[in-house]
Amino acid sequence: MTMPSFLTGAPRYLFLTGKGGVGKTSVAGAAAIALARQGRSVLLVSTDPASNVGQVFGLRVGNTITAVPAVPGLSALEINADEAGAAYRERIIGPVRGLLPPVEVDLIEEQLSGACTTEIASFNEFTGLLTGDETVAGFDHVVFDTAPTGHTIRLLQLPGSWTDFLNEGKGDASCLGPLAGLERQRAVYAEAVAALADPGSTRLVLVTRAQRGAVEEVERTRAELAALGMREQHVVVNAVMPAPAGADELAAAVYAREQEVLRDLPPALRALPTDVLVLKGENMVGLAALGSLFEAGPGEEIGQDPAVGAVAVPGLPEGVEDLGALVDELATQGHGLVMLMGKGGVGKTTVAAAIAVALAERGLPVHLTTTDPAAHLSETLAGSVENLEVSRIDPEVATRAYRETVLRSKGAGLDEAGRAALEEDLRSPCTEEIAVFQAFSRVVHEARRRFVVIDTAPTGHTLLLLDATGSYHRDIVRQMGEKTSFITPMMRLQDPDLTKVVVVTLPEPTPVMEAEQLQDDLRRAGIEPWAWVVNNSLAAAAIIDPLLRRRARNEQAEIATVIARDSSRCAVIPLLAREPVGVPELQALTATPVPAT
C-alpha cells in the first residue's frame, strides 16, 4: 500500500471530515489499515450517527472496542448515539428510581429523551477519547471517521459552547441532567479543546470529491475549523476519474468536469498538502478493496472485462421507474408533504429541487425548504419558477426568533432579575433544538393546503429531529389524554395520505445498507417510506468505458435489491455528463424516461 502524504508524520489523532458521501469511511479505514501494517497500534472510531465502519470491514462493531482479526494492531469503535444516550439517562435516573413516584420518573425520562441529551451523551464519550482516558491508552493512533460536515462542526463546537455555558452561569440544563455533572466535565472539555487545536496531537483531513458542491463544502469546513484552532489540515480528493482510454462521451465529460474542479480549487485549499485518489472499479468494502485505495492508479480495473459486455452494460432490473412517473403520481394528490431523506451526499437536494420544480410546472403551489445545516438549495436551483417558494430552516435564525418570542411573551411581566435569568436560560444550547423543531412543525402544517418538499439533513440529524417530534407527540398525549381530539406533527408524518417519504440513495452497497437502516428506523416511528430514488446510476447510462462498465455491473445487484426487498416504487436517475444545476437541468431529470431493460 502506498502511503499518502496525510499519513506522513501522522500525529496521534487524525480527523477525517467532509461532505457526506465523499468516502470518508473508506479513506479512514484505509488509513487505519496502512498505519497498522506499519506496526502501529490503531483505533478507528466513528462518530457518525449513520456509521458503517463495521459493514466496511465485514464484522460487527459497536460501542465497545472491537479488534479487526485480519489486521493485527487494528481495532474499531462506533460511538452509538442511542446506546450512549441510554447509558447517560440511566446514570441520572438510576439513583432516583424507586425513591420517586413512577410518574415523576417517567417525566424525567421524557425530559432526557431529546436530541440535545443524545448529542451530549455521545460527546462525553468523544471527549474521553480525545483526552487520553484508559480506553485509548494503548493506541499509537486514533483515527476518527466523523459524521457529515454539519454534524461534525456542531460536535467540534460543543467543547467551547459548553465551557462558555458553564462559565457564564447555571441556566436550564434539564435536558442534560444535574448541572453538577457538567461542572465535573469542565476540565475534560477544556482539555478536549486544547487537543483539537494542538498540531502536534491532531491533524484534520478534509475529504472531498472533485465536485463543485463537495469542494465548496469542504472549503467552508476548512475555514470554520481553522477558526476553532484546527489549522493542521490536509486535503484528500477521493475517487477521481482517470483519463478515459476510449471514446466514451460520458467518461470524457466526467473526467473533464473533475479536472476543471481540481484546477479551480479555492486558493486556501490549494495551499494545503493534497492527495488525489483514483476511482476504482470495485466498491470499497472489505480489506482487499481498502488495501488498494491508496495505490497510485486504477490498475487492472480499467482493462477489458469480457464479462461486462462489449459495448454497454445490461439493462436495468424490471420494475424501475423514472422520476417523472413518481411526480405524476404525487401531483394527483394536489397537496401534501414530500420528505427527501437519506445519507449525506446521495443527492437529496438535487432530487428535492427536481420534484419541486416539476410539481410547480404543473401549476401546483409548492414550498421547497431544507433542514440541512449545509444546505445548497439556492445554488442547485439557480433560478426561479412560478408557483415555487424556496426557504431554509436556518438553526441560527430559528433560534434567534424563538428567543425573541419568548422574551416578548414570558419576559414581558418579569422584573430585571427575572428577565436576566430568562435570557440566561435561553442561552442554553438546548434552545436550538426547540427552535428548529418549532420551525419544522410550522412547515409540516403548511402541507394541508399546498405541496411542501423538504430536503432533509443527513440521516443522523433527521432522526434526531424526528426524535424531538416524537417526544413532543408523547408529551401532548400525556397532557391531553387519549380521548381528546388533537393532531401533532408526528401524526401528520405518520399519515400516508398527507406525507410521502422518499428515500434517496446511490447504487452502492454502503449507501443502500444505510438507507435500509433509515427505513427500519422510520418504520419503528410509524412512518412508511413511499418510494426510493437511486441516483447517479451508471447502469442507467449509455457507457462503453471499461472502468465505468465494471462499476455499472456492480450497481445492478444493488438496484435489484432495492426493488425486490425495499420498495414497491423505485426510480433510477442516470449519471449525467453535466451536474444537474439550474432549472433546465432539473427539468430534464423528470423528463428523461428510464432506459428499457
Q: Lowest mean pLDDT: which of 97-111, 180-194, 231-245?
A: 180-194
135 as an active site residue: the answer is: no
Within-domain flag for 407? no
* Residue type at 544 in one-letter notation: I
The pLDDT value given to residue 595: 63
Same domain, 220 and 330: no
Query: Which CATH number fits the domain that encloses residue 87?
Result: 3.40.50.300
First-last CA distance in the chain: 40
pLDDT beyond 70 at 477: no
The residue with greater pLDDT, 317 or 206, is 206
| 289 & 332 share domain | no
26 is catalytic: yes
The reply to whether 14 and 82 lie within a common domain is yes
- Where do we find the cell 425548504? 369
At 98 the pLDDT is 84
Among candidate residues 18, 20, 23, 213, the one labeled active-site is: 23
The total number of structural domains that make up the chain: 2
Strand order in the sheet with 141-145: 66-67, 74-78, 42-46, 141-145, 13-17, 202-209, 233-240, 274-278
Catalytic residue among 26, 117, 127, 567: 26
pLDDT score for 458: 52
In a domain, 597, yes or no: no
Residue 582: CA count within 13 A, CB half-sphere: 4
The CA distance from 81 to 90, in Å, is: 14
- The phi and psi torsions of 468 (rounded to 5 degrees) equal -65, -40
Catalytic residue among 48, 145, 425, 467: 48
- How do residues 95-147 score in pLDDT, each as one tens digit? 888 888 888 887 777 667 665 666 677 777 777 787 766 777 789 999 998 85
pLDDT at 276 over 80: yes
Give Cα 112 distance to the centre of its chain: 24
State whether 387 and 243 are in the same domain. Answer: no
In a domain, 310, yes or no: no
Q: Indicate if the pLDDT at residue 80 is higher than 80.
A: no
In the structure grid, which three cell numbers stand for residue 150, read together?
454539519
Pick 47 or 149 by higher pLDDT.
47
- Which of residues 293, 308, 335 is at a domain's end? 293
Look up cell 424526528; give the residue. Answer: 466
128 is catalytic: no
Domain contains 496: yes
Exposure pattern of 503-518 as b/e (b: 16+ CB <10 Å)? bbbbbbbbbbbbbbbb
Q: How confident is the model at residue 263 (pLDDT cuts 50, 70, 90)?
A: very high
Its pTM surpasses 0.85 = no
Cα 244 from Cα 255, distance rounded (Å) = 7
- Residue-wise pLDDT for 319-329, tens only, equals 788 899 999 99
The verdict on 183 and 123 lying in the same domain is yes
Q: Each residue of 554-575: b (16+ CB within 10 Å) or e?
A: bbbebbbbbbeebbebbbbbbb
**What's the pLDDT band for 186 if we cut at 50, 70, 90?**
low
Q: Identity (one letter) of the amino acid at 509?
A: P
Choosing from 17, 18, 20, 25, the catalytic residue is: 25
pLDDT-derived band at 3 (thresholds 50, 70, 90) equals: confident
Contacts with 55 (C-beta within 8 Å, 6 or more apart), sequence order: 285, 509, 510, 513
Kindly report, residue by residue over 41-60, the tens digit of the pLDDT. 999 998 765 556 776 777 77
Can you give the residue range of the structural domain that contains 219? 5-293
How confident is the prediction for the chain on average, in pLDDT? 80
**Taking residues 514-535, what's their average pLDDT?**
88
Q: Is 95 contained in some domain?
A: yes
Nearest alpha-carbon partner for 452 in 548, 297, 334: 334
One domain for residues 330 and 284: no
115-130 and 149-168 helices cross at what angle (nearest 10)? 90
Instruction: Inform me whether the pLDDT recorded for 554 exceeds 60.
Output: yes
479 and 543 assigned to the same domain: yes
278 and 334 inside one domain: no
Same domain for 289 and 327, yes or no, is no
Q: Among the options 21, 29, 85, 342, which is catalytic? A: 21
Per the domain annotation, does 174 fall within a domain? yes
Identified catalytic residue from 51, 510, 567, 590: 510
What's the Cα-to-Cα distance from 40 to each of 75, 252, 532, rounded to whole Å?
11, 41, 43
- Whether residue 314 lies inside any domain: the answer is no
pLDDT of residue 165: 57
- Count the Cβ atoms, other than its own, within 10 Å of residue 17: 29
351 and 482 assigned to the same domain: yes
Query: What would the DSSP string read from start to end of 68-132?
Result: -TTSTTEEEEE--HHHHHHHHHHHHHGGGBTTB-HHHHHHHHHHT-SHHHHHHHHHHHHHHHHTT
476 or 497: which carries more pLDDT confidence? Answer: 497
Residue 328 phi/psi, 5-degree rounding, is -55, -40
The 10s digit of each residue's pLDDT in 385-443 is 899 999 888 878 888 888 888 888 888 888 888 888 778 777 765 677 677 777 888 88
**What confidence category does residue 353 fall into, taking pLDDT thresholds of 50, 70 and 90?**
very high
- The residue among 293, 309, 337 that closes a domain is 293
264 among known catalytic residues: no
308 pLDDT exceeds 50? no
Considering 17, 19, 24, 462, which one is annotated as catalytic?
A: 24
Q: Comparing 193 with 217, which gets the higher pLDDT?
A: 217
**List of long-range contacts for 102-106, beta carbons under 8 Å, 24+ apart:** none
* Residue ending a domain, choose from 293, 308, 339: 293
Instruction: Indicate if 253 and 328 belong to the same structural domain.
Output: no
Give bridge partners of residue 453 from the DSSP assignment: 338, 368
pLDDT band of 543, cuts 50, 70, 90? confident
Percent of the chain with pLDDT over 90: 29
Say whether 471 is catalytic: no
User: Which of the given ranges, 14-23, 300-309, 430-439, has the highest pLDDT on average?
Assistant: 14-23
Q: Are residues 267 and 168 in the same domain?
A: yes
Give a yes or no: residue 433 inside a domain: no
